[in-house]
Each structure stands twice: as structure tokens, then as C-alpha cells.
Chain A
């Protein structure tokens, strides 16, 4: 009798399976999954309910009689459906996620446990304030940390995301100017390198956006800025460190110049991870800065939200902060809403959102902050900057790094497509990285660097993880330079090949239609 009955033997290679179809279309653990509309039914439910007691119907003839079209699945089928779908996603939990400007750091699971405590999760926002003092205390403690870390006067906690926070800051500026009779100040100066939300927000608030040029060194051109300041300028929106991953050394001078000219300084705090605990933006003279709790303070990205964007404010802008907010009066926490705004907050520009803000994100962020403490947060900034510089120096010989010669970067490193051969682009390198098992870096942002590749590893990557990433990136870049055409059709190993985005936009299919319906529509 031979041993090794079920293990590999040489003659097995004779039946080598070519890259052909399986019956299911699956590839071992790579499982395809249909839509709930294709596998569920209107008669199936995965939830058991008690019988509804007999009671008079009082919906006044508005009964919904027609089928809605919502398929159900039993619990086992539902769990399988979503588990299979989850496996078609890249995630921080799987590997390094080098998206510049997004700060894809590890999402600690203690945060999730704390957010789910019933005292936080099962509490209604309109309960009498005496019954939710603990929740207010969380908001108050987090607010204290944010104000102290940034060296600012106060903080508006209610904005629901970074862009919402930008809106808050910009509206506070508008309110402050209007209060001084300065409605004529209608221009906001925004660098061309700014994140798209900056000009979008400014435009929404009724401002006209003008570009601030950059210097060769990738910073705001201070002299050009000073030349443009005037009685029609409301202020500036600056990101610091900027979107090229560089600290703006003239930031204080910028703030001083803008203040002297009668304007205000909005700082986009998306890159706070580079300087938390090492620099206080308040010391740089800013008037408002949103903080992305889902970036610097680790609340999970969740596939695209929810976020949270509290806004720290200078003393000059504090009176205009939106409602509501939490204040401590003696031993008690109170909620200042429209009703009690009267004496101390009469100049608030108003309410931005129903209820109080992203409480679930506050508990997570406070848990994160308490875990790190003042020393840990400072270490976060240092390690994030060290990691980015390590990546920059390891790749600057194979990819063009436009600012590498003039000094270190902060928490993110930027490369351009200069030197790539004809027919090869940043996009091809990105797609090649996918086959290597990484999510690509941020591409084509900021606009000021041609074919930009913005790499932000964050502080939660080990040296080994960085080394592997560097090796993969190097390999893909070298393949591009050697003209490897396989890159043009990458990725080859992902659940899907490149998708036709043009068709999706030209003939949008945004909801499922039953096949008969879809044919009739054509």
C-alpha cells in the first residue's frame, strides 16, 4: 500500500486545469454572488414576529395594497449573501491601504465595543437631559481634547462629515463678516491643490472662489497671496500640511496677512495626522478647522461613511458656532438649542443638522484618544511621518518625486507620472498594484502634480508591511517603465476586470428591474 493517498503525486500535473470556466463560475474561495432580487422572494422573511393583536385600523384608507417589490431571505441565506459580498472588498483589515489624504489607519475594535454599550447606543436624542448626562459628558470630554490638541478656543461638534464641517467653518466666517457689515467680502482664496470639497463648499455658501498659486516648492505663494488680499476677500481655505504632503512653513505669516486685510483663515484639517501632538494649528493663527474623526481619530470608513467633522474655532469665530452644543453649568451638562441660545449664543448662524451630531463617532473617537493619550498621539504623528518618508526615499529612484530633493515630506509622499513611457499612465500603475494585493494610492489628486500618486501609509503599518508594499510598488513601476503591456489590462486577479465606467454614465442603470420590465423599457 502506498502512503500519501490524497496528497500530490507527479502524474497529477498531466491533467493541469487551464484557465477555463467552472460550473458555478466560482474560483475556489472567490465566490460570485447574485442580487437579492434574483435570489430572494416576496414571501420569504428572515425575521419571526408575534401575531399582531387585533386592534382598530386607523390609517384612514391609505393602506399600501400593491406589492412593494422587496425580496426577503432567511437568516442563513442573508448571512451567506453578505458574507460573500464582503469578501469582494479590499479593506484596512486585509492590508496596507495607501490612500493619500484619507488616513487609512487601523480601526481599533475597542471603539466598536464601547460604541455599542446600551448607555450610548440605546439612548434617544430627545430624552430629558437629566437622563443622558453621561452622553453629554462624552461630547464634552471629546470637545476638550480636540480644543486642547489644536490650541483653539472652542469646537462645534454637530457637523456630520468633513465636508459638512467645512461648510460649518465657512458659514461661521460668512456670519462673522455679515455681523461686521462686510457683506462685500465675497471672495475666498483656495489653492488649486485643494480637495474638491473646498471650492464646492465655498460656492455653496455664496462665495466666489479664486486660485492661489503655488511656488516651485509646492507651497502657497505668500507674496502672490498678499498681493491679492483686499476689501473683497473674505479669507482663505488652506490645507496644512497641504495636499502634496508638505508643511506650509509660512502658515503663520499667511494668517497674519489675511487677518490684517480683514479676512479669516479656514484650515482643512484632513492632514492633522501628521502634526497631532507636535503642532497646534491654533498657534498658526487659523480661525476654523474641521477635524475628520474618521481620519486622524480612527473611526471606521465603513465603505464610504458615516464620518464626523467637528470644527475647532478661534475666539473671533466662536460666537457664530452652530447650534446645538453641550455646555457644563456647575455640575450639570446642558444642551444649548434654539431655545436657550438667547443670551450667550445669540449670534450663532443656526442649526446645521437635526439632533446633536455623530454620537456613535464621538464614543469611538474618545475611546481612541483615551487609549493613545497625549504621548501616544504625538507618537502617531511621528510614526506616520517616518513611515511616509521611508516610502518616499525607497522609491524616489524609480518614480519621479517632485519635492523629494527639497526636503522631507510629512505623513504622505507624492509622485508624478513623469518618466513613464508613452502609453503608460498612473492609472496602469494603480491597477497593477491591485494584482499585488494592495488598494492603489490616491491617483490624479492633487491636480497640481501631473498624474499624481499620493501615498499615505499611516502609523499603523509595520516596517515589514511597508517593505512589502515598497517592493510591490517598485515592481509595478519597473514593469511600467519596461513597457509591460499586461499592465494595460490589469487587474487580472481581482473579482472583476476593469469596468466600463463610460457605459455606466451614458446609460445609467441605478436600480434593479425585473427582466420583463427592463425589456419593455428598451
Chain B
């Protein structure tokens, strides 16, 4: 078997060396009653690379990939072009097959990348500091709520209606066990997000307000007043960014006063991957750093005075504090963070702004074109690369119908909020630099036909 280097001769020699007559002697502590006498029945035996490739390729072919169709899905995962060198670099064995850098002298590669990533993330989000990644945006979001509770010693978190429903669902699940009381709402098909309404809800029991920027319908609004209102009541503002490319065009939540900024980094470097693995971004103000979950990399010097990097502030973490840890996290998403960082380095500030401009221009033109289709109304006039349309019919069946025709038309609000009649005609459309004008025409024509 190609992954097992021991030969039958090796095994014989080694059994002799350890004083065992047969391999079963080394499993002597396993009670007879639970010993399996041979390979489990009903499962196939080992297979060649060729056979496995055939099997997996056949399964892959059963999926309609984004590159094969006009593609308009967003809502928390975005299709961007990742430069070819990113994937090559992350497959270098020294990155791919390295471990968590607990022995820093032989892990400076990983550690320096983590330090660069932390800096890039902090600057992009507009925060003082950032950690070396979380599992994804949704877990980063609930960890932020927990962090706000620890800092403010309050339990009431107000979640904007514009927060991704999966993120709300995750927060609701976790709140059952942490004692957080969540105030949630559905989004409304209006041009403005619910920022003003949230301001009116903050009181002395509020631990934090959680807003998404841009929100689930693609809307953006200034967070400065909301940040000030939170501060006035000593609550924290948590901003959630699910499309970080947006921050190449619009102000960062940090510079508008957010205390904690979290997000999903997927759209830079990582690819769609059917939902995972992704990379959670987590940044905050300097004064809160010791309450931050997740790994942190810090700069230091070695015995010869050379600059180096190490994992630091580990007393927050499970391997030191055990039940008193800020979180139970062990693994993070370092390889995805590496991909993110490489892509961001290749872009640079100039490239990121160009990428953002391309996205926005494409989305703006698409919104104009689609709004001309009879039965289509643009709900959200202010957006980055994602906007919401109101169709004259229920959107979810239309998305399915168009999928059968080989068009991936976006995410219906009926898919995200099943049973909510007020939202059922809503369709969220994302446009990136990978979307062509032909794609938009195809979608427009198809919508025209199906709405007639």
C-alpha cells in the first residue's frame, strides 16, 4: 500500500525487537469481546490512485460549478479570481505539512506569515490588532458576542436584521448555553439598513450591537452614529464583514468606531469550496486584546538578538488555562490565512482598490440592466458588489428554474428565510470581477422570460 513504508520483513524484524510474536500481542489491552477479527465487512479494500480518481471525478462531475454557468451567488461566500501563484505556494510542503508553531525556532515561516496576516487584517478592518484567524465568520461572530459579554459583564446582545441568518442561527444556538440574551429581527426589503432602529434599542443592559457591513441584502451605511450611541451606553459595537473586498472601496468599521470587527475572509485567496474550509477574521481595539479568542503571534528577539516571532498571550488559551480559557479553540485556519495573506500581498493596496472598483462598477451596471427587466425592482440603491431585487413573483422557484437552465441566478430570500412572506420575492445578486456583461445579459433575458 503506497502510503505504508513498512515491508513484511520490517514488520517481522520489529516485532522480534519488541518481543512480540504477532501484532495482536501489542493489542493485548483490548478486550476480546471488542476485537475485530479482520477488515470490517461491507467496506471496499484499498484502491489505486487511478481508481480513486475515477470515483471522485465522477462525483465532481455531478456538480454544476460556478465556472460553468452565469453565476450570481453571494450571501457570505463570493467568487473572486485567485492568482495562480497562491495555490502553488500553499502547496509547498513546508507550509502544507507543517504544524502549529509551538517550536518557534523551526517555524519562523508560519509565524512570520501569521504576523503579516495579523497586520494586514487589522489595517483592512481598521482595528488596532487582529488574531491569526478563526474557523470562519460565523464562529468569529459568536465569539465576539461572548467577548463583549466578558468585557461589559452584560448579557443582552442586539443583532441587526441585516446579519446573515446563519450567523444569527449560530449565535442563537450558543446563547442557549452561555446565558447571552439575543435580540434579533428579520431584515426588511427597504433601501436603508436598520441602523437607526438599532440606535434606539441600546440601553444600560446592552453588551453589544452586532451589525453586518455590507449587510445580507448588500446595503451599506455609516456606522459612526451607531458607534457613538453604543459608546454613550458603554456597550460595544461589533461589525461583521462577510465580503472583505468591499473594504478596498468603503470605509472600515474600525475607523467608524467599531470596537470589535470580525468577518469571513473567504473571498480573498480561498475560493468557494462549497462552504469550507474558510477563514475567520477577528480584530479589536488594543485595550481588549487579552479578551480576544484564538491564536496570536507576537514579535520578539532570539538569544542572538535577531528578530523573531512566537505564539503569545497563550494564557488566554485552552492548553494553558483549560476550563478558564477564553475559548475552547485549538486549531485555527492557518493555511487559509496564508492563502489570504499571499493574495493580499499580490494585490497590495493599489490592486485591492482596483479590484474593488471593478466589482462595484460591474455590480452597478448589472443593477441598472436588471432593473430594466419588467417585473424587477431594485430595492437597494446603495451597495458595493451585492444588491437585492424584488421580483414580481416568488424568487425561490425562479432560482430553481433558472438553475435547471444552467444559470446560477443568486440567492433567494426564500432560501435564507423560508416561510417569511414579506421577503419571498427577494433575490440577492452578487457581481464580482469574474462576472461578464454576457452573463448579466443572459440573466436579464432569462428573468424577463420567466417573469412574463
Question: In A8-64, which residues have CB < 8 Å from any B CB?
Answer: 33, 35-37, 40-47, 49-50, 52-64
Residue numbers in A under 8 Å from B58 (CB-CB): 134
When the two chains form their complex, are residues A305 and B361 in contact, meaning their CB atoms are under 8 A apart?
no
Question: In A139-177, which residues have CB < 8 Å from any B CB?
Answer: 145, 148-149, 160-164, 166-167, 171, 174
Question: In A453-503, which residues have CB < 8 Å from any B CB?
Answer: 459-463, 465, 489, 491, 494-501, 503
When the two chains form their complex, are residues B106 and A431 in contact, meaning their CB atoms are under 8 A apart?
no
When the two chains form their complex, are residues A45 and B408 in contact, meaning their CB atoms are under 8 A apart?
no
Cβ of A423 within 8 Å of any chain B Cβ, yes or no, is no
Residue numbers in A under 8 Å from B71 (CB-CB): 124
When the two chains form their complex, are residues B27 and A385 in contact, meaning their CB atoms are under 8 A apart?
yes
Residue numbers in B under 8 Å from A70 (CB-CB): 120, 123-124, 344, 347-349, 352
Tell whether A85 pairs with B108 under 8 Å between CB atoms, given A132-B64, A160-B276, A503-B300.
yes
Tell whether A306 pairs with B10 under 8 Å between CB atoms, given A134-B59, A408-B18.
no
- The distance from the CB of B356 to the nearest CB of chain A, in whole angstroms, is 9
Cβ of A181 within 8 Å of any chain B Cβ, yes or no, is no
Tell whether A94 pairs with B93 under 8 Å between CB atoms, given A203-B324, A206-B178, A497-B302.
yes
When the two chains form their complex, are residues A73 and B56 in contact, meaning their CB atoms are under 8 A apart?
no
Residue numbers in A under 8 Å from B289 (CB-CB): 508, 510
When the two chains form their complex, are residues B177 and A206 in contact, meaning their CB atoms are under 8 A apart?
yes
Q: Which residue of B lies closest to A513 (CB)?
A: B119
> Given A354-B167, A385-B23, 8 more contacts at CB 8 Å?
A35-B115, A53-B362, A71-B345, A90-B103, A302-B335, A303-B109, A338-B418, A356-B276
Q: Which residue of A lies closest to B437 (CB)?
A: A53
CA distance A106 to B1 in the complex (A): 13
Cβ 8 A contact of A306, one of B64, B87, B327, B336:
B336
When the two chains form their complex, are residues B274 and A66 in contact, meaning their CB atoms are under 8 A apart?
no
CA distance A383 to B350 in the complex (A): 53
CA distance A133 to B58 in the complex (A): 11
Cβ of A366 within 8 Å of any chain B Cβ, yes or no, is yes
CA distance A382 to B71 in the complex (A): 48
Residue numbers in A under 8 Å from B14 (CB-CB): 386-387, 389-390, 463
When the two chains form their complex, are residues B320 and A294 in contact, meaning their CB atoms are under 8 A apart?
no
- The distance from the CB of A487 to the nearest CB of chain B, in whole angstroms, is 14
When the two chains form their complex, are residues A119 and B277 in contact, meaning their CB atoms are under 8 A apart?
no
When the two chains form their complex, are residues B36 and A280 in contact, meaning their CB atoms are under 8 A apart?
yes
- The distance from the CB of A408 to the nearest CB of chain B, in whole angstroms, is 4
Cβ of B73 within 8 Å of any chain A Cβ, yes or no, is yes
Q: Which residue of A lies closest to B68 (CB)?
A: A118
Per-residue 0/1 for A120-142: is the Cβ within 8 Å of any B Cβ (1 yes, 0 no)?
A: 11111111101111110110000
Cβ of A79 within 8 Å of any chain B Cβ, yes or no, is yes
CA distance A289 to B399 in the complex (A): 39
Stretch at the interface among B204-212, B226-234, B305-313, B444-452: B305-313
- The distance from the CB of A343 to the nearest CB of chain B, in whole angstroms, is 15
Residue numbers in A under 8 Å from B365 (CB-CB): 53, 55
Tell whether A60 pairs with B220 under 8 Å between CB atoms, given A117-B60, A277-B39.
yes
When the two chains form their complex, are residues B45 and A376 in contact, meaning their CB atoms are under 8 A apart?
yes
Tell whether A69 pairs with B123 under 8 Å between CB atoms, given A63-B251, A126-B415.
yes
Per-residue 0/1 for B326-347: is the Cβ within 8 Å of any A Cβ (1 yes, 0 no)?
A: 0111111111101000101111
Give 29 pairs: A residue, B residue, CB < 8 Å, sorted on A.
Answer: A44-B348, A53-B362, A55-B360, A62-B222, A63-B249, A64-B247, A72-B349, A79-B89, A81-B345, A91-B96, A92-B98, A120-B60, A122-B271, A126-B75, A128-B403, A148-B42, A196-B317, A196-B320, A304-B331, A305-B133, A356-B274, A370-B55, A374-B43, A376-B3, A376-B45, A378-B36, A386-B11, A445-B319, A496-B105
Tell whether A434 pairs with B105 under 8 Å between CB atoms, given A40-B345, A123-B272, A124-B66.
yes
Cβ of B250 within 8 Å of any chain A Cβ, yes or no, is yes
Cβ of B185 within 8 Å of any chain A Cβ, yes or no, is no
Cβ of B296 within 8 Å of any chain A Cβ, yes or no, is yes
When the two chains form their complex, are residues B138 and A353 in contact, meaning their CB atoms are under 8 A apart?
yes
Stretch at the interface among A223-231, A256-264, A310-318, A357-365: A357-365
Cβ of A247 within 8 Å of any chain B Cβ, yes or no, is yes
Cβ of A86 within 8 Å of any chain B Cβ, yes or no, is yes
- The distance from the CB of B139 to the nearest CB of chain A, in whole angstroms, is 6
When the two chains form their complex, are residues B346 and A45 in contact, meaning their CB atoms are under 8 A apart?
yes
Per-residue 0/1 for A339-383: is the Cβ within 8 Å of any B Cβ (1 yes, 0 no)?
A: 100000000011111111111110100110011111111111011
Residue numbers in A under 8 Å from B342 (CB-CB): 78, 82
- The distance from the CB of B241 to the nearest CB of chain A, in whole angstroms, is 13
When the two chains form their complex, are residues B66 and A123 in contact, meaning their CB atoms are under 8 A apart?
yes
Cβ of A328 within 8 Å of any chain B Cβ, yes or no, is no
When the two chains form their complex, are residues B116 and A36 in contact, meaning their CB atoms are under 8 A apart?
yes
Residue numbers in A under 8 Å from B296 (CB-CB): 508, 510
Residue numbers in A under 8 Å from B317 (CB-CB): 196
Stretch at the interface among B46-54, B148-156, B195-203: B46-54
- The distance from the CB of B91 to the nearest CB of chain A, in whole angstroms, is 6
- The distance from the CB of B247 to the nearest CB of chain A, in whole angstroms, is 7
Per-residue 0/1 for B119-135: is the Cβ within 8 Å of any A Cβ (1 yes, 0 no)?
A: 11011100011101101
The listed residue with most B CB atoms (<10 A of its CB), out of A122, A360, A385, is: A122
Q: Which residue of A lies closest to B7 (CB)?
A: A463
Cβ of B355 within 8 Å of any chain A Cβ, yes or no, is yes
Q: Which residue of B lies closest to A437 (CB)?
A: B106
Tell whether A53 pairs with B361 under 8 Å between CB atoms, given A62-B251, A119-B59, A504-B299.
yes
CA distance A188 to B89 in the complex (A): 44
When the two chains form their complex, are residues A304 and B40 in contact, meaning their CB atoms are under 8 A apart?
no
Tell whether A306 pairs with B122 under 8 Å between CB atoms, given A44-B350, A64-B248, A439-B106.
no
- The distance from the CB of A495 to the nearest CB of chain B, in whole angstroms, is 5
Q: Classify the secondary structure of A's interface with B.
A: loop
CA distance A249 to B16 in the complex (A): 25
When the two chains form their complex, are residues A371 and B99 in contact, meaning their CB atoms are under 8 A apart?
no
Q: Which residue of A lies closest to B409 (CB)?
A: A128
Residue numbers in A under 8 Å from B354 (CB-CB): 45, 47, 49, 52
Cβ of A222 within 8 Å of any chain B Cβ, yes or no, is no
When the two chains form their complex, are residues A374 and B220 in contact, meaning their CB atoms are under 8 A apart?
no
CA distance A431 to B105 in the complex (A): 9
Cβ 8 A contact of A59, one of B96, B220, B347:
B220
Tell whether A278 pairs with B27 under 8 Å between CB atoms, given A357-B275, A361-B277, A430-B103.
yes
When the two chains form their complex, are residues A306 and B277 in contact, meaning their CB atoms are under 8 A apart?
yes
CA distance A22 to B75 in the complex (A): 53
Cβ of A107 within 8 Å of any chain B Cβ, yes or no, is yes
CA distance A57 to B172 in the complex (A): 37
Residue numbers in A under 8 Å from B124 (CB-CB): 68, 70
When the two chains form their complex, are residues B338 and A408 in contact, meaning their CB atoms are under 8 A apart?
no
CA distance A361 to B275 in the complex (A): 11
When the two chains form their complex, are residues B96 and A302 in contact, meaning their CB atoms are under 8 A apart?
yes
Residue numbers in A under 8 Å from B352 (CB-CB): 68, 70
- The distance from the CB of A395 to the nearest CB of chain B, in whole angstroms, is 12
Residue numbers in B under 8 Å from A68 (CB-CB): 123-124, 247-248, 252, 349, 352
Tell whether A357 pairs with B170 under 8 Å between CB atoms, given A58-B364, A385-B27.
no
The listed residue with most B CB atoms (<10 A of its CB), out of A138, A304, A445, is: A304
Q: Which residue of B lies closest to A64 (CB)?
A: B251
Q: Which residue of B lies closest to A353 (CB)?
A: B138
Residue numbers in A under 8 Å from B309 (CB-CB): 499
Tell whether A386 pairs with B23 under 8 Å between CB atoms, given A35-B112, A279-B30.
yes
Cβ of B392 within 8 Å of any chain A Cβ, yes or no, is no
Per-residue 0/1 for B404-416: is the Cβ within 8 Å of any A Cβ (1 yes, 0 no)?
A: 1000100100011
CA distance A463 to B361 in the complex (A): 60
When the two chains form their complex, are residues A499 and B46 in contact, meaning their CB atoms are under 8 A apart?
no
- The distance from the CB of B221 to the nearest CB of chain A, in whole angstroms, is 7
Cβ of B295 within 8 Å of any chain A Cβ, yes or no, is yes
Tell whether A394 pairs with B120 under 8 Å between CB atoms, given A104-B99, A352-B170.
no
When the two chains form their complex, are residues A508 and B3 in contact, meaning their CB atoms are under 8 A apart?
no
When the two chains form their complex, are residues B331 and A162 in contact, meaning their CB atoms are under 8 A apart?
yes
Q: Which residue of B lies closest to A500 (CB)?
A: B300
When the two chains form their complex, are residues B170 and A108 in contact, meaning their CB atoms are under 8 A apart?
no
CA distance A408 to B91 in the complex (A): 37
CA distance A81 to B331 in the complex (A): 25
Cβ of A75 within 8 Å of any chain B Cβ, yes or no, is yes
